[in-house]
Structure formats: structure tokens, C-alpha cells
Amino acid sequence: MSHQDPDDSPRRPHRRARARSVDSPQWPDFLAALEEALPFDVAARLHGLVPETIEDALKHDEDAREAVATAKAKGEAAMLREKRALQKSGERTGGYEWDLERLYPLRYRLPKQIETSGPNGGAQVLKHEITLADAVELAKENR
């Protein structure tokens, strides 16, 4: 009779049961993470939820869609409040601009360069510098 060392046996990874719908007990924690401005997929996985499954569920559940939209808005507002508080105190706010540009690119992405025709038909690169605060104010004015 041969004895096999248990450490030599192939191991199957232990799989934790994952909640997969908006009805899960993790749903409030997921929404709280969105209110902290965590990205959707990070907030979901942090609390044992599958982002793709949540997205599918949101297609059919208006209340859940509204809850996610509200949580994201609270997260965005919190970031803006913190950024403005730092601005008022004279502190640097670069991290907030970076986060806002990446989490909400349609709203906060700033143009880096614009190419136009220059003299004799050649390309000319124009660089524009604008602060995020100015861009937010312009966006509000143009609504």
C-alpha cells in the first residue's frame, strides 16, 4: 500500500459563494462604496458581487438603477467638496483632478491638445491650459 503525501495532491481552489444580484445582503455595502467614489467594478468585487451580473440586473430594475445613480452622484459630490476645501485652504488638489477625469471622463476630461491647419497648410498644435474648477464652472454655464 503506497501512501501519497497530501501536499502532492492537486488542489482545487476554495470558491466562496458569491452574491450575484441586487437583492444580496452586500447590496447596501456596494452602494456605500459607490458613495465613496470607488469605481463600479471595484465596489462590486470588493463586496463579493459580480459587476457584469449587477449590470444585467440594472437593465431590468429601475429602483436599483436609481440607487446606483444616486450613490455615484454622492461619491462625485463628496470628491468635489473635498477638492474645493483643499483649494480654499491653498492645498494641492491634483489627485482629485486625476480621479475625476478618470471616473467621470465625459464630464471632467480636459482637452490636451487640438490640431488645426497652420501656415502653408501644415499642422499646428495649440495647447490650452484650464483648471478643473474653471471647466466645471463652464460646464454649469453651458447646461
Predicted confidence at residue 18, as pLDDT, reads 39
pLDDT, averaged across the chain: 79
In a domain, 135, yes or no: yes
Predicted confidence at residue 128, as pLDDT, reads 65
User: Cβ atoms within 10 A of the Cβ of 57, count?
Assistant: 19
In a domain, 76, yes or no: yes
In a domain, 6, yes or no: no
More confident residue, 97 or 18: 97
Task: Tell me the pLDDT tens digit for each residue of 52-96.
Answer: 999 998 999 999 999 999 999 999 999 899 988 988 998 888 788
Predicted confidence at residue 135, as pLDDT, reads 80
Number of domains observed in the structure of the chain: 2
Amino acid occupying residue 82: E
In a domain, 3, yes or no: no
The closest alpha carbon to 68, from 102, 47, 43, 86, belongs to 43
pTM for this model (two decimals) = 0.60
**Whether the Cβ atoms of residue 26 and residue 48 lie closer than 8 Å to each other:** yes
Which band of pLDDT confidence, cut at 50, 70 and 90, is reported for residue 17? very low
Residues 101 and 58 grouped into a single domain: yes
Residues 58 and 27 grouped into a single domain: yes
Residues 60 and 130 grouped into a single domain: no
Residue 42 CA to residue 73 CA, distance in Å, equals 17
Q: Please state, in angstroms and as integers, the Cα–Cα distance from residue 141 to each residue in 13, 35, 82, 137, following that order.
A: 55, 26, 22, 6
Residues 40 and 61 grouped into a single domain: yes
Residue 18 CA to residue 50 CA, distance in Å, equals 8
> For residue 19, is pLDDT > 50?
no
Residues 93 and 140 grouped into a single domain: no
Residues 121 and 136 grouped into a single domain: yes
Residues 54 and 95 grouped into a single domain: yes
**Can you point out the beta strands (E) in the chain?**
114-117, 123-126
Amino acid occupying residue 60: H
Domain harbouring 68, CATH code: 1.10.10
Residues 129 and 95 grouped into a single domain: no
**Domain of 139?**
110-143
